Structure 1
Amino acid sequence: MPEIRNAVTVITGASSGIGKATALEFARAGARLVLAARREEALEATARECRALGAEALAVPTDVAEEAEVEALARAAIDRFGRIDVWFNNVGTGVFGPYWEAPAGLQRKVVEINLIGTLHGSSAALPHFIRQRGGVLINMCSMGGWSPTPFAASYAASKFGIRGFSASLRQELTGYPGIHVCALFPALVDTPGLDRAANLSGRALEPKAPYLTPEAVAAVVLRLVRRPRGEVAVGWTASAARIAYGLAPRLTETVTGALIRAALRRARRVPRTEGAVARPIAAGTSPRSGKPLPHVGGPSLGSLALGGIGLLLGAELLSGALTRRR
């Protein structure tokens, strides 16, 4: 694993949210940064903040859905620093609302940005890792990569895909012990992401669950470079979703769907918007959303309930299987 100090680190989606928080975290640790996002002005602002912390930082405007632009991002890193040690595929977006009410092109764009963008980044990074016989590839999944997300079906499809891609890639690279493929699964995070997503539900996206801070996720990314792991949950809710869906998928689907439908019925009405999915928008350039949100201080009742449901039903299913064997 590379030392963080002077490690050449490529971070996509670095103009806001988790990407920006991670760039600042790595800057404090002395990494050399290559930052990517669609919005040139916001991206350069992140680079300036990193330089103010004493880090070298190169801003490369990039649309990860475009293969040629991601290849150009990798070339820029090599031309500037001569190598790539860490590549963080962080860009993510979504469409919220009934699947059939959103244009198919908008749903496709979510998959292109989230999943195909991850494939593009991995394709750009891995030849350099193989040549160096070392490197850390980190793919941003989410809690939605372990458990379904009703009313965000294309988002869930992309995240399930990233999980499968990452797991498959790890096995392809077993002959390269110095190369690590990590998948990150955060719970709900306080970023501008919900405001920048497409919302065609006509209802405000204001989940009441506690939020992780983007800085907390960034700290996990830094630890992953130092001690790589295949799959890492961040937050109690993510761990609970993994347990619940793994042991009782049908019940977890039913409970999750019922909770989201109930939340939508109570939510205030808002205009429908396509957000920043199809094209960049100016709003949202900070790591956090700027809203007064409850942040995670420990396990929430909801997450413990989900985990408890999964564990209890799993025990019940196991007991039933043993009984049938007798």
Structure 2
Amino acid sequence: MRVRNSVVVITGASSGIGCATALRFARKGAKVVLAARRARALETLVAQCEAEGAEALAVPTDVADAEAVQRLAGRAVEHFGRIDVWVNNAAVTFFSPFLDVPLEDFRRVIDVNVMGYVHGCRAALAQMQRQGSGVVVNVSSIVGEIAQPYTSAYSMSKAAIRALGVSLRSELQLNGVDGIKVSTVLPATIDTPFFQQAGNYTGRKAVAMPPVYSPERVARRIVRLATAPRRETGVGPMGRMMAAQHRLTPGMMEAVMAVQVDKTHLSRTEPATASAGNLHRPSADGRNAAADGGWHGKSRTARRRALAGLVLLGAAKAVMARYGQRTARR
């Protein structure tokens, strides 16, 4: 499939990976349909895409609402005639000890991050079956491979997205459907406003866990999948390394992840007041449609990656020492 003149639907388009992906497809000449809860931010992004020479359509959508997602697909087909690529990207999260998070917040994460993707896949695949072709790209996360502490619902949701992709690919294969592909993307930590917008009940400010990669890096991978689909693909060398190591030594890597989250994902100096963040209502930054969250930057990339290496090394040593002590006691 050629990207130019293809019709691409992107959920969670108002910021982060979705925003970067929309602009990347626009620069490649695609027609983009942009979905998110923040209508004004989508209008800003439409203008940015049009400035790149692309046709763009904003459809304010809460992906947790199945009927709203069906309307999104209907608007895309009504306006552009087809759907060639559907990118499921909208996601929310919280940071909280498992027993402290309100159940309504937990359910909201599952509703958006799992059922939102289910709604998107049902709408996209129904149209793609009528056309006989198309690509669905589901944005998961490296935590779908190695779950984190304090993000229980998010980790669950991203593992579920991987399972959804496998199941859909299997069904398409059994039905002899060659023209429709389903790909899953597993980014590591990406420089987006996601962490500022998250719910938080830890008492500690959530920050991006290094190393931090740019949203444009994920956008490039997603655009590439539109023309050359793959089953699963990671984004970010550190994340891929940790995933591979987790399959070899799961106990050690889970302990390393726990230590790294505690040391680098939650600030030890900046407190945070209890908040549901943007779980139940859009963030308050109005017209802002921003891909990055201010965590990256070329001048800091090397330092962040070096810090991540040191933290991982220190965490691994701490875990090994703990295991050694346990062995000695036995």
| Deviation larger for 143-152 or 269-278 | 269-278
What aligned pairs does 1:201-240 form with structure 2 within 5 A after superposition? Answer: 201-240=202-241
CA distance in 1, matches of 2:181, 2:33: 19
Counterpart residue type for residue 25 of structure 1: R
Structure 1 distance, partners of 2:113, 2:10, is: 14
What one-letter code is carried by the residue in structure 1 that aligns with 2:301? H
Change (3 A) 1:234 1:303: farther
Task: Report the alpha carbon displacement of residue 292 of structure 1 after superposing the two structures with TM.
Answer: 5.9
Match of 1:269 in 2: 271
Q: Is the 1:30–1:54 Cα contact (8 Å) retained in structure 2?
A: yes
CA distance in 2 between partners of 1:194 and 1:296 (Å):
21
The 5 A counterparts of 1:6-85 are 6-85=5-84
CA distance in structure 2 between the aligned counterparts of 1:280 and 1:6, rounded to whole angstroms: 31
CA gap 1:12/1:292 in 2 versus in 1, 3 angstroms: closer
Match of residue 327 from structure 2: none
Q: CA deviation digits over 1:244-295, x for unaligned, max 9?
A: 2211111111221123234447342122221101111223631011356533
C-alpha displacement at 1:132, in angstroms?
1.5
Identity of aligned residues (%): 41
Deviations 1:199-245 (A, max 9, x none): 11111112451211111111111111111101000001220221122
Q: How do 1:222-261 and structure 2 match up within 5 A? A: 222-261=223-262
Contact 1:67 1:120 in 2 (8 A): yes
Q: Is the 8 A contact 1:213 1:295 kept in 2?
A: no
Displacement, 1:301? 6.8
- Alignment match of 1:286 (pick from 268, 287, 290): 290
The CA distance in 1 between the partners of 2:267 and 2:289, in whole Å, is 30
What is the correspondence of 1:148-227 to structure 2 with a 5 Å cutoff? 148-174=147-173, 175-227=176-228
1:76–1:143 distance in 2 versus 1, CA, 3 Å = same
Question: Given residue 292 of structure 2, which amino acid in structure 1 is its aligned partner?
Answer: R
**Residue 52 to residue 262, structure 1, CA distance change in 2 (3 Å):** closer
Letter in 2 for 1:161: A
The runs of 5 or more residues in structure 2 that have no matched partner are 321-330
CA contact (8 A) 1:64 1:113 kept: yes
Q: Aligned partners of 1:212 and 1:186: how far apart in 2?
A: 9
Q: CA deviation at 1:30?
A: 0.4
Shift of 1:44: 1.1
3-state SS in 2 of match to 1:266:
strand
Other-structure match for 1:115: 114
Match of 1:295 among 273, 296, 301: 301
Q: CA distance change for structure 1 residues 106 and 217 in 2, over 3 Å: closer, same or farther?
A: same
Contact 1:96 1:198 in 2 (8 A): yes
Name the counterpart of 1:131. 130
Q: Is contact 2:83-2:134 (8 Å) kept? A: yes
C-alpha distance after superposition, 1:41-91 (max 9, x if no partner)? 001111111011111101000000000000000000110111100000011
> 1:281 is paired with a residue of what secondary structure?
coil
Provide the TM-score with structure 2 as the length reference.
Answer: 0.88
Count of equivalent residues: 308
3-state SS, counterpart of residue 212 of structure 2:
coil
Distance 1:137 1:298, change over 3 A: farther
Aligned to 1:316: none
Shift of the 105–57 alpha-carbon distance from structure 1 to 2, 3 Å rule, reads: same
Q: Kindly report the root-mean-square deviation, in angstroms, between the aligned alpha carbons of the 2 structures.
A: 2.1
- 1:54/1:297 CA distance change after superposition, 3 Å: farther
- Cα distance, 1:10 vs. partner? 0.2
Aligned partners of 2:296, 2:232: CA distance in 1, in Å? 30
Separation in 1 of the partners of 2:143 and 2:254? 12
Aligned to 2:328: none
Task: Report the secondary structure of 2:271's partner residue.
Answer: coil
Tell me if the contact between 1:37 and 1:60 (Cα under 8 Å) persists in the aligned partners.
yes
Q: Distance in 1 between matches of 2:261 and 2:179?
A: 42
